[in-house]
Amino acid sequence: MRAETRRRLTELHTWTGLIAGFALFIAFYAGALSVFHDEIDTWAVPHPPAVSTNLVARGDALMAKIVDEHPAARAQIGMTLPGDHPSHEVAVYWFDKDWHVQGLDDAKPRGEDDEREGLADFVYSLHYTLGIPELGIYLMGLVSIVYGVALLSGVLIHLPHLVQDLFALRPGRNLKRLWQDAHNVIGILSLPFHVIFAITGALICLMTIAMVAFNVMAFDGKLVPLEDSLTGASPTITASKVQAPMLPPHVAVEKARAVALASGAEGFDPDYMRYLQYGDRNAAVEVRGRSGKTLGEYGSVALSAVDGRVLRVQVTGARDANHATYAAIFGLHFGTFGGTAVKWLYFLLGLAGAFLFYSGNLLYIESRRKRRSADQPLKVRAMATATVGLCLGSCAAIAVTFCANLVAAASGADATMIVKPVFFVALAAAFGWTLWRRPARAAVDLLWLTAALSLAVAIADIALHGLRVEGGGAALAVNITCIGMAVGFASLARATARRARSGDMNSVWAVAG
């Protein structure tokens, strides 16, 4: 590679890293936590309301009531099936010009502005929207594309030295070299994982938009009408206008499970079902469920909603390339193809990814540092402030949000009302603190704060609710992980404080005196 090309690629890598790095740090940190979404949800709702046993029957009745009131909902109306973590909601979804949703306990359909989220759901939405409603998901899709370009350019720059530098970690006087080595080794060793996330992240956020673009530019408008049949099992049906009684959901679900198992799927755990042309003699019912021992766990079975005969089967072992690929995108992104070990691997690689973006910012600062002056250029100071305020600030803000959830749940308040505002107030406060205290001091403060809050929330939870070994010990595991995170943040805090005191004074990371 010519030196000039390499320089240009380095510049591209720097800029794409700068543009996407902050969003990716938050996405990876919140995403690593979201690997344990269901466990965090179990932790966050210590005394879930008693689950009634007739949820599916109530959903059935609610669907019948809704199609009575909104005849347009007959075209497609469905319900989520009961799940095994406390905030999982059984709700009815239907399409009448727009998607509508009504939970079993709601008196009327939910408004657009109702975005109550529990702790686990909030951390998850932070992962893929940064907490920005409506547009956040598309923003994260674009960030994923920029991330992909950053990965490609990083690999190309590094390619000539790939083998000899792979296992090199050179501590010593040259700090830039050390950060460079750490950044490279983590980047290269976790490259397959990052490739997966750049691609599946862009796909999950932007697939609908990409389909529309292909529809217009390459397929003469014939793609969008096919979209449902590419990702689900729904057949194209026309209403006969002759009424017929519908197979009730529990019967449809059992029948679909039997069909899936007979087709070779390893288990079938239904989580969503919907009717197409509800109440019509030609109506179909589609059941979506998860199977094991496959990369893409989701599959669907479509049956006649009148007599239960099989219309389409798209489950593992009996599906086409479209459905296998679609399911694999989600399997690879969410790490659901394996057991607990894969989830922990995703968690650790997620944290390592966050560190990759953080170390990239440190490299930017270190390579633009003025070596002979205590005063650093504005861009270096601004970068240090943004890195500490946004990255470490969001770690601290998430820890604050966990504490707020615990306090709200213990005092009987509705935690879903507070988690989002608490997070953003805490993040703003952390950023303000960084501006006021300067990055070197603020980094130490925020790291200690995160460590202290992580430890406190685990101890307080154990003090309030005991060890919580019930339900497979999910809540206990969250508490133990919080303590582990506290130890990690505390050691980062100590290292940062040591560097501020005794490292090179001509740096944004030094504290004078």
Binding site for another protein (CB under 8 A): 4-5, 8-9, 11-12, 15, 145, 148-149, 151-153, 156, 195, 198-199, 202-203, 206-207, 210-211, 213-214, 217-220, 222-223, 225-226, 230-231, 320-323, 325-326, 329
Shortest gap between Cβ of 99 and another protein (angstroms)? 22
Shortest gap between Cβ of 422 and another protein (angstroms)? 35
Cβ nearer to another protein, comparing 145 with 429: 145
Cβ nearer to another protein, comparing 144 with 405: 144
Q: Which of 307, 308, 306, 266 is nearest to 289 (CA)?
A: 266
Q: Which residues of 17-35 are buried (b: 16+ CB within 10 A; e: fewer)?
A: bbbbbbbbbbbbbbbbbbb
Q: Which of 48, 49, 99 is nearest to 78 (CA)?
A: 99
Cβ nearer to another protein, comparing 25 with 326: 326
Shortest gap between Cβ of 199 and another protein (angstroms)? 5
- Report yes or no: 391 and 25 within 8 Å, Cβ to Cβ: yes
- Report yes or no: 410 and 452 within 8 Å, Cβ to Cβ: no
- Cα 232 to Cα 13, 165, 242: the distances in Å are 38, 46, 26
Q: What is the side-by-side strand order in the sheet with 91-96?
A: 98-103, 91-96, 76-80, 266-276, 284-292, 298-304, 310-314
Shortest gap between Cβ of 425 and another protein (angstroms)? 36
- Report yes or no: 379 and 368 within 8 Å, Cβ to Cβ: yes
Neighbouring residues of 299: CB distance < 8 A, sequence distance ≥ 6: 233, 260, 265, 268, 288, 289, 290, 291, 314, 315, 316, 319, 323, 327
End-to-end Cα, the chain, rounded Å:
47
Shortest gap between Cβ of 211 and another protein (angstroms)? 7
- Calpha distance 503→148 (Å, rounded): 35
- Cα 130 to Cα 123, 253, 452, 508: the distances in Å are 9, 35, 25, 28
Cβ nearer to another protein, comparing 206 with 386: 206
CA angle 443, 445, 446 (to 5 degrees): 65
CA angle 88, 93, 97 (to 5 degrees): 145
Shortest gap between Cβ of 9 and another protein (angstroms)? 6
Shortest gap between Cβ of 202 and another protein (angstroms)? 5
Question: What is the phi/psi pair of residue 287, to 5°?
Answer: -115, 125
Cβ nearer to another protein, comparing 5 with 373: 5
Cβ nearer to another protein, comparing 226 with 460: 226
Cβ nearer to another protein, comparing 17 with 148: 148
Cβ nearer to another protein, comparing 332 with 500: 332
Cβ nearer to another protein, comparing 330 with 344: 330
- Cα 315 to Cα 122, 298, 513: the distances in Å are 31, 7, 66
Neighbouring residues of 411: CB distance < 8 A, sequence distance ≥ 6: none
Tokens of residue 460, six digits: 């307080």
Shortest gap between Cβ of 198 and another protein (angstroms)? 7
Shortest gap between Cβ of 323 and another protein (angstroms)? 8
Shortest gap between Cβ of 271 and another protein (angstroms)? 21
Query: DSSP class of residue 274?
Result: E
Shortest gap between Cβ of 205 and another protein (angstroms)? 10
Cβ nearer to another protein, comparing 157 with 284: 157
Radius of gyration of the chain (CA): 26
